[in-house]
Amino acid sequence: MTAGDASDTSPPATVWARIKAHKVLQWSLAYLGAALAVAHGQEILGHTYHWPYVVERILIGGLIVGLPIAIALAWYHGHRGLTRVSSGELMVVSTLLVVGAGLLILLVRSPEDRSADSASGVGARAPPIASSAPASAQGSIAAASSKASRVNRKPRLAILPFDNLSPDPANAFFADGLHEDVISTLATRAPGLEVISRTTMMLYRAAPKSIAVVAKELGATHVIEGSVRREGHHVRLTLQLIDGATDNHLWAQTYDRTLEDALSLQTDVAQQVVSQLATELSVRAPRALSGDPEAYDLYLKARLARQELNPYSPTLLADAQHMTDLLEGAVKHDPNFGLARVDLGNHLAQLYVLTGDA
């Protein structure tokens, strides 16, 4: 019985030992870190050189498909002593490539492409009566079709970085944090909207442009600009919603809050924005933030420090320790601050991949 028990427990131990020996977890974390860097670089280059959105879809789809392939390669070659390519490895990788190719096609094809294919399929079975119409009638039909396409398209929203009007310039982190929270809330809870990423929008802080130019470059139907003023425990957020095609102001609102009430301000903003754009928020509640203003301040400062963290900087360890101190301070002020705990865990994992220090 003892021998049988030993044989029953040995396979899991052997598999886990092989995972550790072949550094599968390290390979996976390294791949995820590299994938995030590549995606971030593509977003910046795509905005600068006006790449079509299909490039972003192809790249993100390829990175998703590449993860299981990277894990398979780590399983066979994570240990430097294993360099021979076996037939089993070739079969596994080939299967992953075939499955990944099919998945990549599904990921790259946007819902609009599938809808267009369906519409063209219906149109192909319809009698070609439009070709016999006069040229002026065909032009009217084309114009009506183009107008209908614009009406049926989701509103595409660009939210410019908020101006910091606080007496203390050091409060700029609060304006940036509120800007990121508003974008995140709308992107995750408003399925009827296309919300342009914060990384892209922050490029317009260094090189400000007119609303019309921003809307044209990003293909935005609507643009939001705003300012934040924080003084003591009082916060004022002023927003304006602008039509990207006409440059007309559609809506403006000023929010006056205490610092404690401002922690949920992004939800109030999102609710009013979607009501102006004739859509709605999902019933799913947003991730809970902290109810402690001090903890929230430290969390926002940590997010800003993360964006400025440079893995090639000679001060990397000091900068990373500063971010660690900020996140640990946020958790200390509010032990129930879930987002701070998650960010702290991710930060320590990434730091381990970069430096090898636990």
In terms of phi and psi (left: phi > 0; alpha: psi -120 to 50; beta: otherwise), the region of 217 is: alpha
**Residues 163 and 272 placed together within one structural domain of the fold:** yes
Is 177 inside a domain boundary?
yes
Say which CATH number the domain at 238 has: 3.40.50.10610
Query: Who's near 269: CB < 8 A, 6+ residues apart?
Result: 182, 185, 237, 239, 253, 255
Phi-psi region of 50 (alpha: psi -120 to 50; beta: other; left: phi over 0): left
Using CA atoms, how far residue 259 sits from 223, 234, 239, 293, 301, in Å, is 26, 6, 18, 7, 16
Check whether residue 19 and residue 101 sit in a common domain.
yes
Q: Answer yes or no: do 160 and 272 share one domain.
A: yes
- 23: containing domain: 10-111
pLDDT at residue 51, rounded to an integer: 63
Cα-atom radius of gyration of the chain, to the nearest Å? 26
Q: Does 142 fall in a domain?
A: no
Please give the angle made by the CA atoms of 313, 314 and 320, to the nearest 5 degrees.
70
With respect to residue 122, please indicate whether it lies within any of the assigned structural domains: no
* End-to-end Cα spacing for the chain: 40
**Can you spell out the DSSP letters for 234-286?**
EEEEEEEEEETTT--EEEEEEEEEETTGGGGHHHHHHHHHHHHTT----SSPP
Asked if the structure places residue 36 within a domain, the reply is yes
- pLDDT, residue 244, reads 92
pLDDT tens-place values along the chain, 358 residues long: 444 444 444 454 577 777 777 777 777 888 888 888 787 777 766 655 556 666 777 887 788 878 888 787 777 776 655 556 666 667 777 787 777 677 666 655 544 454 445 444 444 444 443 444 444 444 443 444 344 444 447 899 999 999 999 988 888 888 888 898 899 889 888 888 899 998 899 999 888 899 999 999 999 999 999 999 998 889 999 999 999 999 999 999 999 988 877 777 888 888 888 888 877 665 454 455 667 778 888 888 888 787 777 777 788 788 888 888 888 888 888 888 877 888 888 878 877 776 665 4
pLDDT at residue 84, rounded to an integer: 63
**Contact present, 41 and 92 (Cβ < 8 Å):** no
Asked if 240 and 306 sit in the same domain, the reply is: no
Residue 130 domain-assigned? no
Task: Indicate whether 86 and 189 sit together in one domain.
Answer: no
Q: What's the confidence (pLDDT) of residue 357? A: 58
**Residue 53: its pLDDT value, please?**
60
pTM to 2 decimal places: 0.51
Q: Are residues 175 and 76 in the same domain?
A: no
Q: Which of 55, 78, 111 is the last residue of a domain?
A: 111
Pick from 249, 276, 303: which residue ends a domain? 276
Specify if 120 maps to a domain: no
Same domain, 299 and 267: no
> In the structure encoding, which two tokens stand for residue 107, read together?
């990921």
According to the model, what pLDDT value does residue 46 have?
A: 63
d(CA 60, CA 46): 13
Contacts of 154 (CB under 8 A, 6+ apart): 192, 193, 194
Q: Which of 246, 276, 306 represents a domain boundary (last residue)?
A: 276
Regarding whether 298 and 268 lie in a shared domain, the answer is no
Residue 149: inside a domain, yes or no?
A: no
Q: Is 262 found in the same domain as 192?
A: yes
Total of domains in the chain: 3
